[in-house]
Amino acid sequence: MEDCLAKKMEITVSEAEKRTGRNAVNMQETYTAYLIETRAIESQSEGQCAPVDSLWRRYSEFELLRNYLSVTYPHIVVPPLPEKRADFVWHKLSADNMDPDFVERRRIGLENFLLRVASHPVLCQDKIFYSFLTQEGGWKEMVNETGFQLKADSRLKALNATFRVKNPDKRFTELKHYSDELQSVISHLLRVRARVADRLYGVYKVHGNYGRVFSEWSAIEKEMGDGLQSAGHHMDVYAASIDDILEEEEHYADQLKEYLFYAEALRAVCRKHELMQYDLEMAAQDLTSKKQQCEELATGTVRTFSLKGMTSKLFGQENPEQREAKIKVLEEQIQEGEEQLKSKNLEGRDFVKSAWADIERFKEQKNHDLKEALISYAVMQISMCKKGIQVWTNAKECFSKM
């Protein structure tokens, strides 16, 4: 971890800017660009003020970076990006992806994504990632030249592997089930939080009616007027405070959403393992078939029913020269198949070892992050309740002085 990029470079997404331009099909579009600023930490430790380097990136470029990382490092739980469009929002919050509050939360999320990658022991060393932070022009061409798109597994192939793999690894099956459950419980939690926010907003704003009523009442009272007016003021302040409270709540909701999207990153690692296991089983099956064919040709006996066997019976067997030529070809294919199977076995073992090490790292990070987020959320709720108590305590003092 001492060599990770986050220890050597400060990385911030400091600004978001709305822009208008032409897309790939020459249609005008409005989009948001994000300013990435980097500064070397080593220079600062030596007493020098390191210059700040900066460049602009679109959300689509962040997506391209993450797709590249996911394909290039299939054994790693790649950090997710923040949502492109707002989800699990309470009704007063805009779901528009150009809304300033949403853009600001996404800016924070994109910075968090870069810091996650820069802190990862493997991802932080990737040259494409470093270029993303430091090289504005020609970066897309550099990514595409890696040919990572050609390595990407198709969804159909992944689905086929899921249903046809015969000997799935129990650990990855359980992890896949866990990621589904994690996504489900966090989704439910975010929905509950959105409903509570709706109700809370209404309760707080209704307190503003106390303020209006106390103010109107104070106008017709001489002895009680000042006390009622002051109590009304406290109610107005209380009613207005909910906007800041729910804005702070969105920060904690975004922390939960990150792990909602991390669940899909976990499933991606499991799917890759299923594909590798499926390829291994297909290679083993093909090798067994070729060995059986070779044995049948060598002995002249057909152990299983086949169209080839029926053809031989109907039209006669091949002559010895043809049979020897076929046996030779099969023996070469068998030797090649055995080498491929050995290679796939080694590749599979390396994948499992690397993937499980990263999954353990992820679990430790998840437990720490979610614990901190839930504690902070509880502290915020306690603080909110204390403010409510203080408002009514102040109101009580106002009433006492009447």
Closest CA to 14 of 63, 71, 61, 53: 53
Q: How many residues does the chain have?
A: 402
What is the predicted pLDDT for the residue at 317? 59
User: If DSSP codes are grouped into helix, strand and coil, which group holds residue 22?
Assistant: strand
CB 246 within 8 A of CB 201: yes
Query: How far is the C-alpha of 236 from the C-alpha of 241, rounded, in Å?
Result: 9
Q: What is the residue-wise DSSP string for 78-134?
A: PPPPPPSS--S--TTS---TT-HHHHHHHHHHHHHHHHHHHHSTTGGG-HHHHHHHH
DSSP label at residue 135: -
Q: How far apart are CA 336 and CA 42, in angstroms?
A: 52
The alpha carbon of residue 144 and the mean position of all alpha carbons in its chain are separated, in whole angstroms, by 22
Is the per-residue pLDDT at 357 higher than 90? yes
pLDDT for 287-307, tens place per residue?
999 888 888 888 776 555 455
Q: What is the pLDDT of residues 190-245, one digit of tens each?
A: 999 988 988 999 899 898 899 999 999 999 998 899 999 999 999 999 999 988 88
Domain ranges for the chain, please list them: 167-299+320-401
Question: How would you label 377-401 residue by residue, b for 16+ Cβ within 10 Å and e otherwise?
Answer: beeeeeebeeeeeebeebbeebeee
Q: What per-residue confidence (pLDDT) applies to 315?
A: 45
Question: Residue 10 in 3-state DSSP?
Answer: strand
Residue 318's pLDDT is: 64
pLDDT band at 314 (very low <50, low <70, confident <90, very high): very low
At residue 329, φ and ψ (nearest 5 deg) are -60, -45
Residue with tokens 């992050």: 369
Angle of helix 320-400 relative to helix 225-240, nearest 10 degrees? 170
CA distance 348 to 276: 7
- Across 332-355, average pLDDT: 93
> Is the model more confident about 138 or about 298?
138
Identify the pLDDT of residue 331. Answer: 87
Q: How far apart are CA 14 and CA 309, in angstroms?
A: 72
CATH architecture, domain defined by 167-299+320-401: Up-down Bundle (1.20)
Average pLDDT, the chain: 87
